[in-house]
Amino acid sequence: MANLDVDLPLLEVREGVDRETIETVAAMGAYKYGWATDIEMDYAPKGLSEEIVRLISSKNGEPEWLLDWRLAAYRRWLGMEEPHWAMLHYPAIDYQDQFYYATPRSMAVKPKSLDEVDPKLLATYKKLGIPLKEQALLAGVEAPEGERRVAVDAVFDSVSVGTTFKAELAKAGVIFCSISEAVKEHPDLVRKYLGSVVPPTDNFFATLNSAVFSDGSFVYIPPGTRCPMELSTYFRINAENTGQFERTLIICDRGAYVSYLEGCTAPKRDTHQLHAAVVELVILEDAEVKYSTVQNWYPGDEQGRGGIYNFVTKRADCREARAKVMWTQVETGSAITWKYPSCILRGDDSQGEFYSIAIANNAQQADTGTKMIHLGKRTKSRIVSKGISAGRAQNTYRGLVSMHPKATDSRNYTQCDSLLIGDQCGAHTVPYIEVKNTSSRVEHEATTSKVDEDQLFYCRSRGMSEEEAVALVVNGFCREVLQALPMEFAMEAQSLVAISLEGSVG
């Protein structure tokens, strides 16, 4: 295997000019996270083949069964076709023209603790505002009263660089680690649940992910345990021409609870990059999972150059009675978003909720929504979707509500609102509703509106700039969803809404 040293393109630095100054200036554009980390990387050769699948498996030191699982997925994938039913238009993706595995060289030997992690990687996350330190814990002092702690798993390109608060979580019986580590340390759990919600045969992108997933997060919450802190994974794509294929598996055992946050960013580049993730949530009797995402991958420039192609399969299986799941997503990034976090309401009286804000500006395209599959009796679901289109963007809500014959006395409520800014963008709503019993009830409400000139003038006459006015009106439009997010995330999402819409008016 060839190991290539690739130097990422860097701005020229004149003598006496601090690099950080330049980066700060560069980051002042609308997209704050567009800088790259200059770090030595090891790449697998370009393209996809059985060899590459074997290489990824061996890099992760995986057992035979997992390699076979990957290979079966890969072989199946070869005979599959990329789906084109979504309202998305993009040039054909050349699956042989990218790297499937990229890892910082310093990660060749996995660091045993965060102290051993390459300072450049730690600095990257610090700059992104993600704390990878457990200062309070390490220094042996208690965190200040009221300060909420969040455990983080940080995934950089193809590998997890570290997970915080592992020891403290372990005391509560909670397992939080990278999935590659889980394969080694908790093989029984992984083998039992991996692919049990999103099978390797599920769809083109999920099958691709099953073959080449390199890392991701693993969570297990034991019965009756309320996870003592929020868990989060922060995904960073750094390397060029490299796809990120992470896999997240969360198992919330009987009567347990966890709130999980996910954030994602990538550098500005002129070429498109592929991101095809799979997230599986297994929720057992009386357990509850809250899964919140702030997706802020690089969206491309105003002309539509560059940006992430985000093809993601997320699904929760409320496998037993009274299991509950709540998906909340704020989708502001990516050139293309293809994502339908879904709920299988298998257990009787189980509940699924989906709250979504999807913003598409400039040349962005989003086709996103959810699937609520009601299988158990008296199951309930609620969908609140807020789509915002600006520039020349196209934004589609696509959702399925399905009531199976046995899902008697079940209920769904769907509210789907679209907001248009300017006259060159589009909003589309594509609801699919199937009801196969007579005792269930499905409600669907949808509205489409334009940001009103009167509202903007009213705000401006009170002293707000046009951009502040748009942000205020749009945040009002999104309020129900923002309220579903954990506090700090809601604040971040609120400012992100404003940033994403910069330049959308005037």
- Which residues bind to another protein, rule: CB under 8 A? 452-455, 457-466, 468, 472-473, 475-480
Nearer to another protein, 65 or 458 (CB): 458
226: its two tokens? 């309320």
Nearer to another protein, 168 or 468 (CB): 468
Distance between CA atoms of 208 and 199, rounded to whole angstroms?
Answer: 11
Nearer to another protein, 432 or 458 (CB): 458
Closest CA to 258 of 323, 315, 194: 323
CB of 480 to another protein, least distance (A): 8
The answer to whether 225 and 236 have CB atoms below 8 angstroms apart is no
Nearer to another protein, 5 or 454 (CB): 454
CB of 462 to another protein, least distance (A): 4
The answer to whether 306 and 268 have CB atoms below 8 angstroms apart is yes
CB of 505 to another protein, least distance (A): 12
CB atoms within 10 A of CB 6: 16
CB of 420 to another protein, least distance (A): 15
Strands 307-318 and 342-345 come out as parallel
Contacts of residue 223, defined as CB under 8 A and 6 or more positions apart, other chains included, come to 253, 254, 255, 256, 284
Closest CA to 412 of 356, 454, 361, 354: 354
Nearer to another protein, 436 or 460 (CB): 460
Distance between CA atoms of 332 and 366, rounded to whole angstroms?
Answer: 9
CB of 458 to another protein, least distance (A): 4
CB of 452 to another protein, least distance (A): 8
Nearer to another protein, 177 or 456 (CB): 456
- Identify the three-state secondary structure at position 204: helix
CB of 351 to another protein, least distance (A): 25
Nearer to another protein, 49 or 465 (CB): 465
Distance between CA atoms of 158 and 154, rounded to whole angstroms?
Answer: 11
Distance between CA atoms of 481 and 50, rounded to whole angstroms?
Answer: 43
Q: What is the largest CA-CA distance in the chain?
A: 75
Distance between CA atoms of 238 and 234, rounded to whole angstroms?
Answer: 13
Contacts of residue 160, defined as CB under 8 A and 6 or more positions apart, other chains included, come to 153, 154, 177, 178, 179, 180, 181, 215, 216, 217
CB of 212 to another protein, least distance (A): 42
Nearer to another protein, 444 or 479 (CB): 479
Q: How far apart are the first and last CA of the chain?
A: 53
